[in-house]
């Protein structure tokens, strides 16, 4: 009996740590996205392309980490894999996350292209139309980010 209680406590602590890390990654991704939005703001005299690229790399790295942590929660969490895998809200959350990820490809591709152009021309700055397209993609990502905590809260409450 004592071993069972110890295992239960270990599982709860592991789930707590994974949940905490999951939330930190989510907040970090939101911060990186907000930073990209700010760095591309119309009031900036010049876009800091290197910083923009680093911010996007953090965003992508945190996205991979959040997926890995989420998979660990599904596989080893106390609710069990069936709780997640049989839940349509979980799949909606995954779909929104993947859609946001797909949308994030547009800014990433532009950032890489812009940095390559800046290597050949030190005075290079992206065209306003290109910046506006990237800002629209970031805005769409923000909309997805608004849906994710709603879906997570619904899922956690068994909706």
Going by pLDDT thresholds of 50, 70 and 90, the confidence category of residue 159 is confident
pLDDT at residue 104 is higher than 90: yes
pLDDT at 1: 44
pLDDT at 77: 85
Going by pLDDT thresholds of 50, 70 and 90, the confidence category of residue 140 is very high
Q: Residue 123's Cα: distance from chain center in Å?
A: 32
Residue 141 to residue 108: CA distance in whole angstroms: 13
Q: Which helix (H) or strand (E) holds 136?
A: helix 128-156
Indicate the pTM of the whole model: 0.88
Give the residue among 145, 137, 56, 138 at the shortest CA–CA distance from 93.
Answer: 145
């Amino acid at each position: 009996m004592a071993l069972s209680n110890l295992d239960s406590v270990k599982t709860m602590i592991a789930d707590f740590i994974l949940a905490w890390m999951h939330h930190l990654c989510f907040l970090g991704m939101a911060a990186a996205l907000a930073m990209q939005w700010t760095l591309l703001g119309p009031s900036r005299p010049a876009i800091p392309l290197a910083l923009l690229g680093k911010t996007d790399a953090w965003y992508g790295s945190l996205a991979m980490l959040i997926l890995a942590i989420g998979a660990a929660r599904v596989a080893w969490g106390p609710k069990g894999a069936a709780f997640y895998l049989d839940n349509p809200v979980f799949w909606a959350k995954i779909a929104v996350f993947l859609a946001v990820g797909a949308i994030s490809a547009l800014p990433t591709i532009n950032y890489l292209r812009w940095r390559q152009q800046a290597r050949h021309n030190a005075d290079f700055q992206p065209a306003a139309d290109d910046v506006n397209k990237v800002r629209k993609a970031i805005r769409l990502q923000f909309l997805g980010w608004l849906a994710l905590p709603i879906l997570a809260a619904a899922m956690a409450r068994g909706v």
